[in-house]
Amino acid sequence: MNPLDLRSILRESVLEIRGDGKAGGGLVLAFQSLASLALTDPSLNVQEWPFFSSARRGANIRSYVRISARPIRIACEVTRPKLVLLMDEGAARTADFAQGVPAGGTFVLNTRHTPEVCAKHYGLSGRVVTISGDEIGLKHLKAQIGNVSAYVAMAHAIGGFTPGTVIDTFLSALKKRRIPETVLQRNREALEASLTEVKEGVFDEAKPGTHLVPPFAGYGDLPVGAQTALRLSQDNLTAYYARSGLRLHFSDPEDKCTGCGHCITNCPEGIIHWEPNDKNGLKVTGSDVTDYCKLCAECISVCPENLFSEIPFNVAWKEAEVSS
Amino acid sequence: MSTELNAPAARVTTPSGDWYPDAIDLAAVKAAHIPLYTQRTEITSDGNQAAAVAGLQMWRCLIYAGFPITPSTKWAEFSAATINGQKGSRKRVKLMEAEHAVADYMAAASAACRDLIFTTATSSVGLDHMYETIKSMGASGLGNAMLVNVYRCSANYPLCIEGDPSDTLGQRDCGWIQISCRGKQQIYDTVLQMPCVGMHPDVLTPTMPGFYGIKDSHRNARLICEPDSAIHEFQDRWIKPCPLPGLINGDTAMGNCVTSRYFQGFKVTQKRRFEKTLDVLPQVGADFERTFGRPGVSYFELAGWPESGAVDLAVVSMGPDFGTFEELRQEYAKTHGLKVAGMCIRLLSPFPREAVREKLRHARAVLVVNQAHHQTRGHLALDVADALCNLPSPPTIASTFCGMGGADVSEATWEAMLDSGRRALAGQTLPPYQIFHEGAAL
């Protein structure tokens, strides 16, 4: 497996890049910064734009970048990228982030796992670059935001940019957004830490027939005004909008539930389980977080006994299965 | 702004109402402008920012009325953030309670101060909400009003936030000069030029530059910004003191109830002014190109036309997706042994029918690509058919639709549409129109 030389591609034709993530996760900023980074080279032309699906936090979104030494006229979506980013593994539940990437392409993942483990899990053939961006974000930015590291990993994958330019370009993008100086400093630390945390390897794990771009199969029969079948998120499970890496947890070992019912009436998804109770009328027994808990935290805020909480959900890949 | 507002001592009575030519001290307004750029500067920008920057660089733009609506919201956000960051700036962003209020504000302000420029940006139902007022403005000679229309499909159900020019095409009769842009540089350059067209004494018609939502509004690329001083010099060459009084009565559509006899005469002059755009716009565009070295505003852009003008298949389209056609045009023509050329329409209203006819008259077939839902064969197809109708043997027109709701127009879709054009060339009878997506006819 010979990885494609991304620098040659952008010199001789067009380097097309696609990213998958979730709204609110910083994917757009990472791609805007990558575009600005490429534009620091006056010989390069760049196009960068996002694609939004449902206009809500946590919904799957995509971003695209084209970089070329030639003027870029083409305007359609990128369907056969040479470099892809998976910013949030939760996004891979409903979208195949590797779709259309040719053998030898580059796959950048924000993940705690090694390149080898990722290549096997997602079935990737090419260069696999990983960085534990969420952990770096948590350490330096006090939030599970992986876009700083994902940007650094993409810049590393393309190559040819000095560390100073990589850092300064991202910070300039933040300055344009009038981010306070203390936050800028934390981002600088996260950028510097990311530069040394990138891991990579070359693997050939794709099975024949996987990650192909499917032919357009038409819209099928739609009732008047039907929308659901045309959404990016086809199954409409609201649990997919939850932040990755966390899950709602109910625990009442001391039998403190008073049966007030606030959690039941405030849950917008109706997922709180309860049973009749002689003493209080009802007793909450738990919640079904499988399909519809989007971690809105209503139950957490209304429970007078603090029986609900968010806990880290460590089995990350149960929530990140490749749809293909 | 009190120092710039003098007592209305000089009052001139005209058939169109009273005129207070000294009420606003334009020299003081110009002197209060704080430049954004003092030299030619390269930035990274998306379409919304490009439009906002151009507006902010004009000394005649003081107050920006706005109401947020995706995908044009960033225009107001960027304008407000920039003005707030300029110490001592006299400019203001005025957020109104809804789009109809923005239009009402612009109507009143641009009628009261005809030598200043009032601009906003909106999309989709935002433009629909302005409908009543902008029709009145279109009739009222308010060439100093400019509405940046960030195209988005004009429907509230189902909600779709992406670029589809059905909003702007649904307003073809509002009386505004509508010009379509693609790419950051063209957006920026067009916003700088359109007040020169709209405020020209022969035209006096409001202007509506527009570009595709998301596909251009959110697409970042390199943008060259000119120094404010050069922009002022260019605009001042074209924008002269308005000959009409600054009142909303007399020769305007607002305020008066008139008889049919007057109304028809009023409409005749409106139509004549509107058509004058076809004379003035190329002059402004040529001057812009001489001044800044980039193409100025024009009726359309061309790709691949031979000197003789004779082509087998001419493609008429608009917006950024034309770039994908440009990218594959030569290869497609070579593969099929055809001369294939393209025309990307920019001036939507008034439609440049004479120029379009002259360019297309030597084509054997014309493939028209419509990107907005419309009855019959599509807005562009009807305009092109109208332009060609007087030719002794007009080329066959193949009408297609694609990209509705901002859907992607892939290379495969372009190839399928071009194949449809080839069938028209071969003399096959095509349906009145076809809809394409991902290389398939739906």
Report helix, strand or coil for B289: helix
B150 strand-pairing partners? B211
Q: CA separation (Å) from B352 to A227, B281, B365, B383?
A: 38, 11, 19, 9
Where is the domain boundary, B246, B261, B292? B292
Q: How far is A292 from chain B (nearest CA, A)?
A: 23
Same domain, B230 and B356: no
Q: What are the structural domain ranges in chain A?
A: 6-204, 238-319
Residue numbers of the domain that contains B175: 2-292
* Chain B residue numbers touching A50 (CB-CB < 8 A): 214, 218
Q: Looking at the structure, do residues B196 and B333 belong to the same domain, yes or no?
A: no
**Of the candidates A39, A76, A79, which has its C-beta nearest B409's C-beta?**
A76
- Residue B429's CB is within 10 A of a number of other CB atoms, namely 7
Nearest-CB residue to A49 (from B81, B219, B222): B219
Using pLDDT thresholds of 50, 70 and 90, give the confidence band for residue A317.
low
**What predicted TM-score, i.e. pTM, was given to this entire model?**
0.88
CATH of the domain at B313: 3.40.50.920
The tens digit of pLDDT for each residue in A184-211 reads: 999 999 999 999 999 999 999 999 999 9
User: Is the preceding peptide bond at B71 cis, omega within 30 degrees of 0?
Assistant: yes
**In chain A, what residues touch B49 (CB-CB under 8 Å)?**
none
Q: What is the b/e burial string over A5-31, where b = at least 16 CB atoms within 10 angstroms of the residue's CB?
A: ebeebbeeebbbbbbbbbbbbbbbbbb
Please give the interface size between A and B, counted as residue pairs whose CB atoms are below 8 Å apart: 77
Q: Cα–Cα distance between A323 and A292 in angstroms, integer?
A: 19
Cβ <8 Å between B321 and A75: yes
Q: Which amino acid is at B397?
A: I
**pLDDT value, residue A323:** 31
Same domain for B262 and B374, yes or no, is no
* Both tokens assigned to B85: 């960051």
> Is B157 in contact with A225 (Cβ distance < 8 A)?
yes
**B389 and B262 in one domain?**
no
Same domain, B170 and B310: no
Residues B166 and B25 in one domain: yes
A43 touches chain B (CB under 8 A): no
Give domain A6-204's CATH number out of 3.40.50.970, 3.40.1010.10, 3.40.920.10, 3.40.50.720.
3.40.920.10
Share above pLDDT 90 across residues of chain A, in percent, rounded to a whole number: 68
B/e letters for B156-169, b = 16+ CB within 10 Å, e = fewer, are eeeebbbbbbbbbb
Q: 3-state SS of A205-271?
A: CCCCCCCCCCCCCCCCCCCCCCCHHHCCCCCCCHHHHCCCCEEEEECCCCCCCCCCCHHHHHCCCCC
- Here the tokens at position A56 are 């809500």
When pLDDT is cut at 50, 70 and 90, the band that residue A315 belongs to is very low
B256 and B350 share a domain? no
Contacts of A49 in chain B (CB under 8 A): 46, 214-215, 218-220
Last residue of a domain, one of B273, B292, B311: B292
pLDDT at A282: 94
Yes or no, beta carbons of B215 and A75 under 8 Å apart: yes
Shortest CB distance from B222 goes to which of A39, A74, A225? A39
Band of pLDDT at residue A312, cut at 50, 70 and 90: confident
* CATH fold group of domain A238-319: Alpha-Beta Plaits (3.30.70)
- Judged by a CB distance cut-off of 8 A, whether residue A47 touches chain B is yes
- Assess: ipTM above 0.90: no
Specify the higher pLDDT residue, B163 or A94. B163
Nearest CB neighbour to B439, from listed A39, A77, A216: A216
Look at residue B87 and give its three-state secondary structure.
Answer: coil
Closest of B58, B56, B208 to residue B130, by C-alpha: B208
Q: Is the pLDDT of residue A2 over 60?
A: yes
Peptide bond into B431 cis (omega under 30): no
Name the residue among A155, A143, A24, A38 with its Cα closest to residue A85: A155
Exposed/middle/buried for B79, CB within 10 Å: 0-12, 13-18, 19+? Answer: buried
Residues B218 and B95 in one domain: yes
Q: What's the pLDDT at A179?
A: 86
SS3 B383: helix
The alpha-helical segments, DSSP class H, found in B86-239 are 99-112, 124-129, 131-139, 166-169, 184-198, 228-238
Does B346 lie in the same domain as B221? Answer: no
B220, closest residue in chain A (CA to CA): A48
Q: Are residues B120 and B245 in the same domain?
A: yes
| Portion 70-89 of A in contact with B at CB < 8 A | 72-77, 79
The span from the CA of A73 to the CA of B320, in Å, is 8
Instruction: Check if A39 contacts B (Cβ < 8 Å).
Output: yes
pLDDT at A313: 67
Give yes or no for B440 touching A (CB within 8 A): yes
Average pLDDT for A310-319: 60
Provide the pLDDT for residue B156.
Answer: 67
Chain B residues 166-185 within an 8 A CB cutoff of chain A: 182
Query: Are A45 and B221 an interchain contact pair (Cβ–Cβ within 8 Å)?
Result: yes
Q: Which of A224, A299, A297, A232 is nearest to A260 (CA)?
A: A299
Spatial contact of B421 and B367, defined as CB atoms under 8 Å apart: yes
- Residues pairing with B174 in the sheet: none
Q: State residue A316's pLDDT score.
A: 46
The gap from C-alpha A297 to its chain's centroid, in whole angstroms, comes to: 21
Among B263, B292, B321, the domain-final residue is B292
Joined together, the tokens standing for residue B146 give 């400019």
Taking residue B47's Cβ as centre, other Cβ atoms within 10 Å add up to 35
What does residue B43 show for φ and ψ, rounded to 5 degrees?
Answer: -130, 170
Q: Please state the rounded mean pLDDT for residues A291-296.
A: 84
Instruction: Identify the burial level of A115 via C-beta atoms within 10 angstroms of its C-beta, where 0-12 means exposed, 13-18 middle and 19 or more buried.
Output: buried
Chain B contact for A32, CB < 8 A? yes
Report residue B431 as tokens. Answer: 């349906």
Question: Residue A49 and residue A51: Cα distance in Å, rounded?
Answer: 7
Neighbours of A268 (CB within 10 A): 10
- What is B92-112 written as a DSSP string? EEEE-SSHHHHHHHHHHHHHH
Query: In Å, what is the CA distance from B385 to each residue of B310, B316, B367?
Result: 18, 11, 11
Q: Whose CA is closest to B119, among B181, B194, B55?
A: B55
User: Which residue of A49, A68, A72, A224 is the best one to mutate when testing the B interface, meaning the one whose CB has the most B CBs within 10 A?
Assistant: A49
H, E, C per residue of chain A: CCCCCHHHHHHHCCEEEEEEEECCCCHHHHHHHHHHHHHCCCCCEEEEEEEECCCCCCCEEEEEEEEECCCCCCCCCCCCCCEEEECCHHHHHCCCCCCCCCCCEEEEEECCCCHHHHHHHHCCEEEEEEECHHHHHHHHCCCCCCHHHHHHHHHHHHCCCCHHHHHHHHHHHHHHCCCCHHHHHHHHHHHHHHHCCCEEEEEECCCCCCCCCCCCCCCCCCCCCCCHHHCCCCCCCHHHHCCCCEEEEECCCCCCCCCCCHHHHHCCCCCEEEEEECCCEEEEEEECCCCCCCCCCHHHHHCCCCCEEEEECCCHHHHCCCCC
Chain B residues with CB-CB distance to A23 below 8 A: none
Question: A214 and chain B: CB distance < 8 Å anywhere?
Answer: no
Closest approach of chain B CAs to the CA of A254, in angstroms?
48
Is the minimum CB–CB distance between A297 and chain B shorter than 8 Å? no
Neighbours of B418 (CB within 10 A): 23
Residues B96 and B192 in one domain: yes
Radius of gyration (Cα) for chain B, nearest Å?
A: 22
Q: Which residues of B touch A216 (CB under 8 A)?
A: 437-440
Mean pLDDT of chain A: 89
In chain B, whose CA is at the least distance from the CA of A227? B158
Provide the CB-side half-sphere exposure for B396 (13 A, CA).
19
Helical packing angle, B73-85 and B47-56, nearest 10° = 40
Percent of chain A with pLDDT over 70: 90
Give bridge partners of residue A60 from the DSSP assignment.
A22
Statement to judge: residues B371 and B279 lie in one domain? no
pLDDT given at position B246: 58
**For testing the chain A interface, which of B44, B83, B124, B435 should be mutated: the one with the most A CBs within 10 Å?**
B44
What is the rounded CA–CA span in Å between residue B13 and residue B75? 39
B302/A contact by beta carbon, under 8 A: no
> How many angstroms separate the CA of residue B152 from the nearest CA in chain A?
14
Interval A136-193: pLDDT, tens: 999 999 888 899 999 999 999 999 999 999 999 999 989 887 889 999 999 999 999 9
- Chain A residue numbers with beta carbons less than 8 Å from the beta carbon of B324 are 73-76
CATH number of the domain bearing residue B255: 3.40.50.970
What is the distance in angstroms between the Cα of B25 and the nearest Cα belonging to chain A? 34
Amino acid found at B210:
G
Q: Could you report the average pLDDT of every consecutive run of 10 residues in chain B (442 residues)?
A: 49 73 87 97 96 98 94 95 92 93 93 92 95 90 95 81 91 95 98 98 96 96 97 97 64 64 85 97 98 98 95 98 97 98 98 97 97 90 95 95 94 97 94 94 90
**In this structure, are strands A83-86 and A60-68 parallel, antiparallel, or unpaired?**
unpaired
Strand partners, B18: B13
Put simply, the answer to whether B85 touches A77 (Cβ < 8 Å) is no
3-state secondary structure of B375: coil
Q: Which residues of chain B does A33 touch, with a Cβ-Cβ cutoff of 8 Å?
A: none
Question: Quick one: tokens of B319?
Answer: 């917006």
Which of A39, A75, A178 is facing B324, going by the closest CB pair?
Answer: A75
Nearest CB neighbour to A76, from listed B159, B214, B408: B408
**CB proximity B84 to A under 8 Å:** no
Q: Say how many domains are in chain B.
A: 2
